[in-house]
C-alpha cells in the first residue's frame, strides 16, 4: 500500500511553517488504541440509572388496535412503559417535516417501528420485556408498499416531485444522431457505525435535563427533545465528546433515542440510558437511499452527450426525513464532471413501508453521479470507444458555455483535466489497458477489467442557512488554550484540524491546544457535522475567535517589545518583535491578564456568496468544488462471479491540505466504504412481510481489511483552493466516496471481456458474486 501527498507543481514550497499543513496524529489516536477514549456508553453510570428498550412493530403497515400494558408492566424489573399517549409535547422526531413519530400512534408503517418503550432496572430486563411486542400488540394489517417502483407507479411520495431542466432536452433527443434508453438500479447501504445509537439522559435541577448522545447534530437533538417535553430549549443540554462513527446515520436519526431516554428520565426523575442492540439498530434506523433510474440519452458519434431525460426514483421509506435535500443533491450531482447542454431531470421521492432512509456519506451525490457514469460507459461501448476517452470529451471546460452546471453555477477552479492527466500518467493507464486486453484474449475463465472515473463534488449544505458555525477559544494564564466549537468528532479528525488552526493563528505548538466536548450550552444553534463542511465552517469560526485574541494581545506585545504593532509576529510559542526581541507567549498572556485584556473570545463564520432557489433548483448552492479520480483494476472469475480489486490508483484534490495524513486516511476509508456499497453490501427485505432480512453482521457483509486493494496507491493532488476556505484547503469527507465508481465499472469491463465485442453487460449494483454471474451469463448467451 502506498500513500503519498503530491504537489501539482514541480517545486515544493514551505507553505505552512508552523502547525497547519503537517501530518499531526489524530488528537485521540492514543486514547483509541489504549481504550481510554470515552464514548457515551463508557460514561460512569449515575446511581439509580435505569435502562430503556423499544417494543417494535412486527408488521409493515397496520392500524394499532390495542397495547396490552398490563402484560408489559408485569414483567420483572419494569418501572415504566411509555407510549405515544405519554408524550407531553410533540410526538415527532423528524428533522424537517413533522411526519415521523417518536412512538407510533394510531398506525405502524414499517417492520421495526417503535411502538412503546420499556424502562427497567437493567438493560437485559428491559429487552426481555420489549421482546414481548408480538404478544402485547394487537394490530390490524393494512396493505404495504415495499419497493420504490411500486410506490412510484402509485404516485406515492414523501415530498412532491422535483424537476431540474436546462435547454430543450426533448428536441435534442429527437435530433441526436445516436440515442440510448435504459434503466438501472443501485441499492442502499447501512452506515454500520462501530458505536451503535445510544443516549444517556440525566435529570438536572430546576426542570433541566442533560443528555449525552452519540449524534452529529446536538442542536437538533436539543430542539426535538424540548419540543417532545413541551419545554424551552435552554432546559435541555446535549453533549457529545466523540462518536464511534456516524457517516450520516447519526445526523437526524439519533433523535428518536435521545427523545425516548429524555422523556423517560424526565418522567421518572432518574437517569435513563437507551443503547440499541445491532439488530434493533438495523431494524429501526434508515440508511443510504437506494435509487432506480430510467434514462433517454442522445449523443453523437464521438460520444458527446447532446441531451438527456432522466428519472431518479429514491426509496425514502415511510417518512421524509432528509430525503428532499438528498434528492436535491442527487439532481445537482448528476452532471458529475460533464457538460450537459440539454437536460430534463426528474426526482421522485417514493414513500414505502420500510425504514425511513436518511443521510449517508455523500448525501445523494454518489447516487446522482453514478447514473451519468453508467450512461457514459454504455455510450462508449455502443461506439466501441475507450470509456475514458468519452469521459474526457464530455468534461467541463474552463471557459465559454461549457463551464456552467444545469443548476446555473459556474464551474470555477476546474482541475478535472490536469488532475486526470496526472493520474493517467502515474497509473500507466494506457499501457495497462493494452496488457489487460492481451491477458483476456488468452484467459477463458479469469477476466481482468480496468476503469478510470473522475469526480466533481460540490461543497456546502444545499440549504443556505445551515452554512454557519460558531466557536469559543479560551486562553488561560499559563498560555494553554481550550477550544469549543459546534462540530462533532466522529473519528474523522475534526478536533485535530480545528486545534491546528487555532495553534497556527496564535503561533503555538499543537500540544498547547485542546478541544472540549461539543455542548449546546457552549455554542448554540449549530448545524450538523455533515456535508463535508466540518473543517470549513468550524475551522473558520475557531480561527475568527483566535484571531480576535491575537489582535487584542498585539498592542501590548508591541509595547513590551518596543516595536510597531505591524511588526509583531506570533510563532514558535513566542511573540517576535522587530529584531531579535521576543518573549514567550506564556509571559505575554500573564501580563495581559494583569492589564485586564480579555483572553477569550467567540468566533463566527457564515459561508459567503451562496444563494438557492429551491422551487426552480437554480443558483449557487456550493462554495467550491472538490475534484478527484481513480483507476481500478479488477479480476473476475466468470465461473463463480467472484471479483477482486487487485490495484487502485487514487488522486484526490484536498486543496492545501490542513493535515495530509488525516486526509489520506479519509480518502482510503471513503474508497473502501464506497467499494462495499457497490460490490457487496446488499439490503434484502422479505417480499411479503417487509421485514429486513439483512439485519446483522451475519447477514450483511461490509468490507474488511482483506477487501482493500492489495496494491493501493493514494495521493493528494495539492493545489490551493481558489475559494477563501480555511487555509485554502478543501473538504475531504464525502467526495472520495465517488472514487470507487471505478471499481464497479472495472468489473463491468471484465464482464464485457467474456462476451462479444461491443457488448454492454447488464450489471446491477451491488455487484455481488450473484449479480456478476448473472451479468456474465447474459453476455455469454449473446455470444452463443
Active site residues: 734
Q: Which residues pair with 347 in a beta bridge?
A: 162, 312
Cα separation, 147 vs 233, whole angstroms: 39
Q: Which three cell numbers stand for residue 475?
A: 486562553
Q: Check residue 234 and give left, alpha or beta (phi > 0: left; psi -120 to 50: alpha).
A: alpha
Give Cα 647 to chain centroid, integer Å: 25
Three-state SS for 229? helix
Query: In 3D, which of 512, 37, 482, 474 has the Cα closest to residue 243?
Result: 37
Pairing type for strands 513-515 and 481-485 reads parallel
**Angstrom distances, CA of residue 584 to CA of 512, 572, 658:** 13, 9, 26
The torsion angles phi and psi of 522, rounded to 5 degrees, stand at -110, -55
The torsion angles phi and psi of 460, rounded to 5 degrees, stand at 155, 160
Query: In 3D, which of 288, 289, 308 has the Cα closest to residue 299?
Result: 308
The torsion angles phi and psi of 29, rounded to 5 degrees, stand at -60, -50
Cα separation, 210 vs 213, whole angstroms: 10
Cα separation, 591 vs 742, whole angstroms: 59
Cα separation, 103 vs 114, whole angstroms: 5
The torsion angles phi and psi of 721, rounded to 5 degrees, stand at -65, 130
Torsion of CA 662, 664, 667, 669, to 10 degrees: -70
Give Cα 500 to chain centroid, integer Å: 23
What is the 3-class SS of 165-186, one letter each residue?
Answer: EECCHHHHHHHCCEEEEEEEEE
DSSP letter for 288, please: B
Q: Which three cell numbers stand for residue 266?
A: 424526565
Alpha-helical (H) ranges within 443-518 are 494-506
Place of cell 429524555: 262
Query: In 3D, which of 733, 748, 750 has the Cα closest to residue 671?
Result: 733
8 Å CB contact between 371 and 334: yes
Q: Which three cell numbers stand for residue 496?
A: 485535530
Amino acid at each position: 500500500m502506498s500513500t503519498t501527498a503530491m504537489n501539482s507543481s514541480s517545486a515544493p514550497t514551505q507553505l505552512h511553517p508552523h502547525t497547519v499543513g503537517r501530518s499531526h496524529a489524530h488528537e485521540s489516536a492514543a486514547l483509541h488504541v489504549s481504550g481510554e477514549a470515552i464514548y457515551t456508553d463508557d460514561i460512569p453510570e449515575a446511581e439509580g440509572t435505569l435502562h430503556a428498550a423499544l417494543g417494535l412493530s412486527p408488521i409493515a403497515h397496520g392500524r394499532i388496535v390495542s397495547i396490552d400494558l398490563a402484560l408489559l408492566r408485569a414483567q420483572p424489573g419494569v418501572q415504566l412503559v411509555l407510549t405515544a399517549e405519554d408524550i407531553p409535547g410533540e410526538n415527532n422526531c423528524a428533522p424537517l417535516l413533522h411526519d415521523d413519530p417518536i412512538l407510533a400512534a394510531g398506525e405502524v408503517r414499517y417492520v421495526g417501528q417503535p411502538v412503546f418503550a420499556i424502562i427497567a432496572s437493567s438493560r437485559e430486563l428491559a429487552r426481555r420485556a420489549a421482546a414481548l411486542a408480538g404478544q402485547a400488540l394487537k394490530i390490524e394489517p393494512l396493505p404495504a408498499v415495499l419497493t420504490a417502483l411500486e410506490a412510484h407507479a402509485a404516485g406515492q411520495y414523501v415530498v412532491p416531485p422535483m424537476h431540474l431542466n436546462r435547454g430543450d432536452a426533448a428536441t435534442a433527443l429527437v435530433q441526436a444522431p445516436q440515442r440510448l434508453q435504459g434503466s438501472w438500479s443501485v441499492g442502499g447501504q447501512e452506515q454500520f457505525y462501530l458505536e451503535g445509537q445510544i443516549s444517556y439522559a440525566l435529570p438536572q435541577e430546576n426542570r433541566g435535563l442533560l443528555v449525552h448522545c452519540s449524534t452529529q447534530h446536538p442542536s437538533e437533538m436539543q430542539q426535538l427533545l424540548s419540543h417532545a417535553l413541551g419545554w424551552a430549549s435552554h432546559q435541555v443540554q446535549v453533549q457529545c465528546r466523540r462518536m464511534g462513527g456516524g457517516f450520516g446515520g447519526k445526523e437526524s436519526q439519533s433523535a428518536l433515542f435521545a427523545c425516548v431516554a429524555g422523556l423517560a428520565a424526565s418522567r421518572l426523575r432518574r437517569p435513563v440510558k437507551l443503547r440499541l442492540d445491532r439488530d434493533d439498530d438495523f431494524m429501526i434506523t434508515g440508511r443510504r437511499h437506494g435509487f432506480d433510474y430510467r434514462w433517454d440519452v442522445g449523443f453523437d458519434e464521438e460520444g458527446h452527450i447532446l441531451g438527456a431525460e432522466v428519472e431518479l426514483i429514491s426509496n425514502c421509506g415511510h417518512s421524509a426525513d432528509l430525503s428532499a435535500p438528498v434528492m436535491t443533491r442527487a439532481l445537482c450531482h448528476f452532471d458529475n464532471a460533464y457538460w450537459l447542454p440539454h437536460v430534463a431531470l426528474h426526482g421522485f421521492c417514493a414513500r414505502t413501508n420500510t425504514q425511513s432512509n436518511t443521510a449517508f456519506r455523500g448525501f445523494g451525490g454518489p447516487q446522482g453521479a453514478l447514473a451519468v457514469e453508467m450512461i457514459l460507459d454504455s455510450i462508449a461501448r455502443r461506439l466501441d470507444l475507450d470509456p475514458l476517452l468519452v469521459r474526457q470529451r464530455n468534461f467541463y471546460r474552463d471557459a465559454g458555455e461549457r463551464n456552467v452546471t444545469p443548476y446555473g453555477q459556474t464551474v470555477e477552479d476546474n482541475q478535472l483535466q490536469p488532475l486526470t492527466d496526472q493520474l493517467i500518467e502515474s497509473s500507466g493507464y494506457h499501457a495497462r489497458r493494452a496488457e489487460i486486453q492481451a491477458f483476456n484474449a488468452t484467459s477463458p475463465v479469469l477476466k481482468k477489467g480496468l476503469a478510470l472515473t473522475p469526480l466533481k463534488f460540490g461543497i456546502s449544505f444545499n440549504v443556505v442557512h445551515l452554512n454557519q458555525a460558531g466557536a469559543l477559544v479560551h486562553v488561560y494564564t499559563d498560555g494553554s488554550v481550550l477550544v469549543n466549537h459546534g462540530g462533532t468528532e466522529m473519528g474523522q479528525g475534526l478536533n485535530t484540524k480545528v486545534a491546528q488552526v487555532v495553534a497556527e493563528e496564535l503561533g503555538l505548538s499543537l500540544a498547547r491546544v485542546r478541544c472540549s466536548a461539543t455542548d449546546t450550552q457552549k455554542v448554540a444553534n449549530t448545524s450538523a457535522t455533515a456535508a463535508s463542511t466540518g473543517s470549513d465552517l468550524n475551522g473558520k469560526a475557531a480561527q475568527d475567535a483566535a484571531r480576535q485574541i491575537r489582535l487584542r494581545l498585539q498592542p501590548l506585545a508591541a509595547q513590551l517589545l518596543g516595536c510597531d504593532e505591524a511588526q509583531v509576529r506570533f510563532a514558535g510559542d513566542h511573540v517576535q518583535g522587530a529584531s531579535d526581541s521576543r518573549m514567550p507567549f506564556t509571559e505575554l498572556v500573564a501580563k495581559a491578564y494583569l492589564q485586564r485584556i480579555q483572553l477569550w473570545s467567540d468566533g463566527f463564520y457564515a459561508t459567503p456568496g451562496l444563494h438557492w432557489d429551491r422551487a426552480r433548483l437554480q443558483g449557487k448552492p456550493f462554495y467550491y468544488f472538490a475534484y478527484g479520480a481513480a483507476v481500478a483494476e479488477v479480476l473476475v472469475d466468470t465461473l463463480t462471479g467472484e471479483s477482486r480489486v487487485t490495484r487502485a490508483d487514487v488522486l484526490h484534490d484536498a486543496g492545501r491540505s490542513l493535515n495530509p495524513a488525516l486526509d489520506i486516511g479519509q480518502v482510503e476509508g471513503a474508497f473502501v466504504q464506497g467499494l462495499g456499497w457497490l460490490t457487496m453490501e446488499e439490503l434484502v427485505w422479505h417480499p411479503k412481510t417487509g421485514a429486513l432480512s439483512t439485519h446483522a453482521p451475519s447477514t450483511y457483509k461490509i468490507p474488511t481489511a482483506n477487501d482493500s486493494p492489495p496494491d493501493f496507491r493514494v495521493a493528494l493532488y495539492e493545489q490551493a483552493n481558489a475559494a477563501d476556505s480555511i487555509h485554502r484547503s478543501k473538504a475531504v469527507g464525502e467526495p472520495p466516496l465517488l472514487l470507487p465508481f471505478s471499481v464497479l465499472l472495472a468489473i463491468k469491463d471484465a464482464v464485457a471481456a467474456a462476451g462479444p465485442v461491443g457488448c454492454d453487460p447488464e450489471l446491477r449494483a451491488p455487484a455481488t458474486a450473484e449479480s456478476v454471474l448473472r451479468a456474465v451469463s447474459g453476455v455469454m448467451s449473446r455470444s452463443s
